[in-house]
Amino acid sequence: MRHLYSVLLFCLIFTTSIQANPLHNIKTGDQANDKGPKVGLVLSGGGAKGIMHIELLRIFEEVNMPIDYIGGTSMGAIIGGLYAIGYSPDDLERIVINADWNRLLSDNVSRRHIPIEEKVWDAKYMLSLPIINRRIGLPSGLVAGQEISKLLTRLSLPVHGIEDFNEFPIPFVAIATDLETGLPIVMRSGYLPDVLRSSMAIPSVFSPHEIYGKITIDGGVARNFPVTDVLEMGADYVIGINVSDSEQRADTLSNIISILERTVNYQIVQTTRDQARLVDLLIQPDIGNYSMVSFDRIAEIVAVGKKEAQKYKPRLQQIADSLNALRTSKEKFRYIPPHIESLYISEIQVHNTKLTQERIVISELGIEPGSSVTPEQIELGIDRVYSLQFFETVRYRLQPTSEGTLLHVYVKEKLDDQFRVGLRYDNRNKSSLLFNATFRNTYKPTSTIRLNLRLGEETYYDTQYFYYIGYKPKLGVHLQGTYSTVRNDMFHENGDIFANIETESVKAEFWVGPVVSSMLIMGAGFREEGYQIRRRVGVIDRSNRWYNNHSFFAFLWVDTKNDATFPTNGQMIRADYTKSLKWFGNPVLFTEYRIMWENLIPISPRVTGQFDIFSSISSGDTPIHHQSYLGDLNYFPGYYKNELTGEWIKSVKLGLQSEIMKNRFLLTSIHAGQVSTVENFSLDDNPIRFGWNVTAATRTVIGPVKVSLSGSSRYSVLFDIRIGYDF
């Protein structure tokens, strides 16, 4: 029968065009539903270049090419797997074009979902490394794959209940590599999102993934072109699409990405050549000047793929016609994955919680058994759980049951702690370094210990301990010990500096309060502080003497901003109350109220309005390092830090943030403020001050870089440059 198919196919193609190459290696299929030859399609890996597979699949559809089996590796597995469960080339193209690849190729969750107590630490560090066995190590991969796993889970919802990939509309197989042995792992069954994630774990880019009880990396390392596996499924005729590089000249290895790609490719090239010899038709489109990480050029790759695919259409049409002439069924069946509007969740099961309390996961998930939810609501809950910072990944699976749908939540707890480094420079305070060590679940589940050390003109060291108690709502308990030095210039009313001082302080504080949501927290507590003021330049009172201060404080904090550095929507409200207590003969008595409101107003996708209000009222003998002030670029441009102080401070800001190019910003603002006593805030004695600011800024790998010009009625122009995050 094998030879009969060969003769018949040869004759059919020859009569169509004498220029077509004869087909070969045809063998009899064993499926009873169609007595003709079974066609297998093999899709290679290639990272971003694998997007070209989509456009060739479109040509397959246009020529009515029969496809009975699909095998793929890495990006070929993702494209092939989604096509196998019913997604059309149009669907796949929309998915890759509309995807936020910057987010998919990172583990960053939306800032709105970050726990509010964690937001203060957001956007401060340029480097994060794991602490393994009390030593600083290197990450197993740049990306754990949280976001891309979530996308694959969403896209595969219609087949969550199917374990055997032979039951897909088109039987499917994917390849991963066993990290321990280096051998291929052939995946024909399981949970599809896990299979696809295992197949695409590019070494040093994505963290290894566990499946079938084995730790896996990208299938391309062992078998980038799974032709033998498709043949084993029963394919008689195999078409292979290879988008991986075969060769790369030395003069093109100009950066670390290209060198990494070349290193990974050494074995891939040889195994691909060996497998390519087994195909009946090999398609190798011109991939152009793209690498496996060219995800910022997806639209270009799609356009190039369309042109390349058209080159193969005439020959594919001949082959399709010849194959269909030998088959019983002439029409392709197209399965359309159903759109899932809502699901009835009958039960929730949380898996793999060892250090973290299951109730915390359930609480953050925000889904009750016995309720109907949308897929979007499930993802939102998964985001909230992941944002707790206790997990490396959080995945879910939906399992149909007789009662409804069982929601499985799989967490992978962070076993490694974190060491992080921040760098900052500005032309006034010069350079500063911030070191942080964060330990989670160390002494108590859902607890966090932070050690911070800042080196520079001003020294700062603290130890913090935070943990949750309760269920709904959660209560946050916070303990902190701090040592710091703060330097300030002292100003006359005319702006002349008469002294420079350094305040050295040691404090311990405790507070407790409800964590209402990831956007709202409130609390109250006590603070014990000792401090002294040292004269560096000039003459001041109260020099070189230690003071003690015991105080009660309360706060309310709301933060819905979508970004810590260049937010485009949301707001932040911070209200604080501090009152010193007459305990133990406290010699320093004061009371302070402070409120700040930042409001972001989206005007267009690239333009954001800013409206900020700040007010502070103090009475008594407020220590200088506790006093509010106007001045400094962050608080009131056009004046120096601490230049404008008083009992009652009021200011308003109107600003405009424009993203003139991707990650390139122009920020402009005008400010009005007044400093007065509580009893006297007349304009005659306390005039309204005005300031302005123009800043050009950009995002970099070490943080934002800002160049600013500011001014006021006192100073015509002040120049500032800042590099790195604020801390």
HEC sequence for 609-670: EEEEEEEEEEEECCCHHHCCEECCCCCCCCCCCCCEECCEEEEEEEEEEEEEECCEEEEEEE
Beta bridge partners of 42: 71, 240
Q: What is the per-residue pLDDT for 32?
A: 40
- Can you say how many angstroms the Cα of residue 338 is from the centroid of all Cα atoms in its chain? 29
Q: What is the per-residue pLDDT for 473?
A: 64
SS3 state of residue 246? coil
Q: Tokens representing 42? A: 């093999």
Report the C-alpha dihedral over residues 310, 311, 315, 316, rounded to 10 degrees. Answer: -40
Which residue from 502, 565, 506 is spatially nearest to 535, judged by alpha carbons? 502
Beta bridge partners of 187: 174
What average pLDDT does this structure show over 614-624? 87
- pLDDT over 50 at 13, yes or no: no
- What confidence tens digit (pLDDT) does each residue in 140-191 have? 556 778 888 999 999 998 898 899 999 999 999 999 999 889 899 999 999 9
Q: What is the per-residue pLDDT for 8?
A: 45
Cα dihedral 39, 75, 303, 605 sign: positive
SS3 state of residue 511? strand
Q: What is the per-residue pLDDT for 3?
A: 43
- Taking the CB of residue 168, how many other CB atoms lie within 10 A of it? 18
Most confident segment among 26-30, 36-40, 653-657: 653-657
- Taking the CB of residue 507, how many other CB atoms lie within 10 A of it? 17
Higher pLDDT, 607 or 687: 607
Which residue from 215, 217, 207, 281 is spatially nearest to 74, judged by alpha carbons? 217
**Any idea how long the chain is?**
727
Q: What is the per-residue pLDDT for 20?
A: 31
Place of tokens 């400010």: 671
Q: Tokens representing 692? A: 């302005």
Q: What is the per-residue pLDDT for 586?
A: 64
Query: How far is 80 from 187, CA to CA, in rounded Å?
Result: 13
What average pLDDT does this structure show over 411-424? 86
